[in-house]
Amino acid sequence: MTDEIDPSHIDPSLWRGLSQPRYSRRQMLKYTGMGAGTLGLAAFLAACGTKGALPSGGGASALPNAGVGTASWWNKQTLHHQLEFANWPYYIDVSHGKHPSLIKFTQETGIKVDYREVIQDNTGFFAKIQPSLQAGQPTGYDIIVMTNNSPALGYLKEFGWLTPLDHSKMPNFDKYASPLVKNPSWDHGNRYTMAWQSGYTCMAYNTDEIKTPITSVQSLFDPTYKGHIGMMSDPQELGSVGLLATNVKPATSTQAQWKAAADKLNSQKSAGLVRNYYDQSYINALKNGDTVISMAWSGDIFQANLSGYKNLKAVIPTEGAMFWTDNMCIPLYAANPLDAMTYMDYVYNPSVQAVIEDYNNYVCPVPAAQDVIRTQLKDPVVANSPLVFPTASMVALSRPYYQYKNQTELNAWNNLFVPITE
Residue type, 232: M
Interactions with another protein, residue window 240-279 (CB under 8 A): 269, 272, 274-277, 279
Q: Catalogue the E-assigned strands of 88-176.
A: 112-116, 144-147
> Which range binds another protein by CB under 8 A, 41-49, 183-191, 216-224, 241-249?
41-49
Q: Which is nearer to another protein, 175 or 310 (CB)?
A: 310
Q: Which is nearer to another protein, 43 or 395 (CB)?
A: 43
CA angle (148, 413, 404) in 5-degree steps: 45
Distance (Å, whole) CA 187 – CA 36: 49
Site membership for another protein, residue 175 (CB under 8 A): no
Interactions with another protein, residue window 92-151 (CB under 8 A): 94, 96-99, 115-121, 123-124, 127-128, 130-132, 135-137, 140, 151
Q: Which is nearer to another protein, 185 or 411 (CB)?
A: 411
| Closest separation in Å from C-beta 107 to another protein | 17
Q: Which is nearer to another protein, 190 or 233 (CB)?
A: 233
**Rg (the chain; Cα; Å):** 28
With 0-12 / 13-18 / 19 or more C-beta atoms within 10 angstroms meaning exposed / middle / buried, residue 143 is buried
| Closest separation in Å from C-beta 420 to another protein | 10
Interactions with another protein, residue window 282-341 (CB under 8 A): 283-285, 287-290, 299-300, 303, 306-309
Could you please report the per-residue DSSP string of 146-207?
EETTSHHHHHHHHTT-BPPP-GGG-HHHHHH--TTTSS-TTSGGGSSEEEEEEEEEEEEEET
Site membership for another protein, residue 411 (CB under 8 A): yes
Site membership for another protein, residue 168 (CB under 8 A): no
Could you please report the per-residue DSSP string of 209-221?
T--SPP--GGGGG
Q: Taking a C-beta distance cutoff of 8 angstroms, is the pair 330, 337 a contact?
A: yes
| Closest separation in Å from C-beta 114 to another protein | 8
Closest among 372, 399, 373, 340 to 194, alpha carbons compared? 340
Which residue from 74, 85, 155, 323 is in contact with another protein, where contact means CB under 8 A?
A: 155
Interactions with another protein, residue window 61-80 (CB under 8 A): none
